[in-house]
Structure 1
Amino acid sequence: MATETIIQGAILALTFITFWAIKYLSQRGLTKFRNKHRATLQTQRQLIQASRLLARARTTPKKSQSQSLAKTALSEADDVISISPEDAAGHIVRALALDLLGHHTSALKSFDTALTYPRLKSLSMGERADALVKRAEMKLAVNRRRRIDSAIEDLEEAVRLAAGTDTARLFRLLGECYEFKGLNEKAHWAFNEALKVQPSSATARDRT
Structure 2
Amino acid sequence: MFLAMHDIPKKIFTKIRYRNRADFQAKRHFVLGAQLLAQARSSKSRSSTASLAQKAEFEAEKAISLDPKDAASYILKASLLTFRLQDLRSRLPRCCSLPSCFQRGSRVDSAIDDLTKAVELGGDNAKVFCLLGDCYEMKKMKAEARAAFEEALKVEPTSSVARAAIDRLGS
TM-score by length of 2: 0.57
Equivalent residue number for residue 86 of structure 2: 141
Equivalent residue number for residue 159 of structure 1: 119
Q: Which runs of 5+ in 1 are unaligned?
A: 1-32, 41-83
Q: How does 1:7-18 map to 2 (within 5 A)?
A: none
| Residues in 1 aligned to 2:30 and 2:81: alpha-carbon distance in whole angstroms | 17
Deviations along 1:82-119, whole A, 9 cap, x unmatched? xx8x9514641234324422432212211221123477
Q: Which amino acid aligns with 2:39?
A: A
Post-superposition offset of 1:149: 3.0
Q: Which runs of 5+ in 2 are unaligned?
A: 1-11, 20-24, 90-97
Q: Which amino acid aligns with 1:174?
A: L
Aligned to 1:182, the other structure's residue is in SS state: coil
Are 2:153 and 1:201 equivalent residues in the alignment?
no
| Residues in 2 aligned to 1:204 and 1:118: alpha-carbon distance in whole angstroms | 28
Q: Which amino acid aligns with 2:143?
A: E
| Residues in 2 aligned to 1:132 and 1:91: alpha-carbon distance in whole angstroms | 12
CA change 1:113–1:189 in 2 (3 A) is: same
CA contact (8 A) 1:133 1:154 kept: yes
CA change 1:183–1:130 in 2 (3 A) is: closer
When structure 1 is superposed on structure 2, of 169-178 and 97-106 the one drifting more is: 97-106
CA contact (8 A) 1:129 1:159 kept: no
Count residues with an aligned counterpart: 130
Larger relative contact order (CA 8 Å, sep ≥ 6): 2
How high is the sequence identity, in percent, across the aligned residues? 28
Q: Which amino acid aligns with 1:194?
A: A
Post-superposition offset of 1:175: 1.3
Q: How does 1:66-85 map to 2 (within 5 A)?
A: none
1:185 to 136, 139, 143: 143
| Residues in 1 aligned to 2:31 and 2:148: alpha-carbon distance in whole angstroms | 31
Q: When you count helix as a share of all residues, which structure comes out higher?
A: 1
| Residues in 1 aligned to 2:131 and 2:63: alpha-carbon distance in whole angstroms | 28
Deviations along 1:6-25, whole A, 9 cap, x unmatched? xxxxxxxxxxxxxxxxxxxx
Equivalent residue number for residue 73 of structure 2: 128
Larger Rg: 1
CA contact (8 A) 1:139 1:148 kept: no
Post-superposition offset of 1:136: 3.2
Equivalent residue number for residue 107 of structure 1: 52
Post-superposition offset of 1:177: 2.1
| Residues in 1 aligned to 2:28 and 2:43: alpha-carbon distance in whole angstroms | 23
TM-score by length of 1: 0.49
Post-superposition offset of 1:192: 1.2
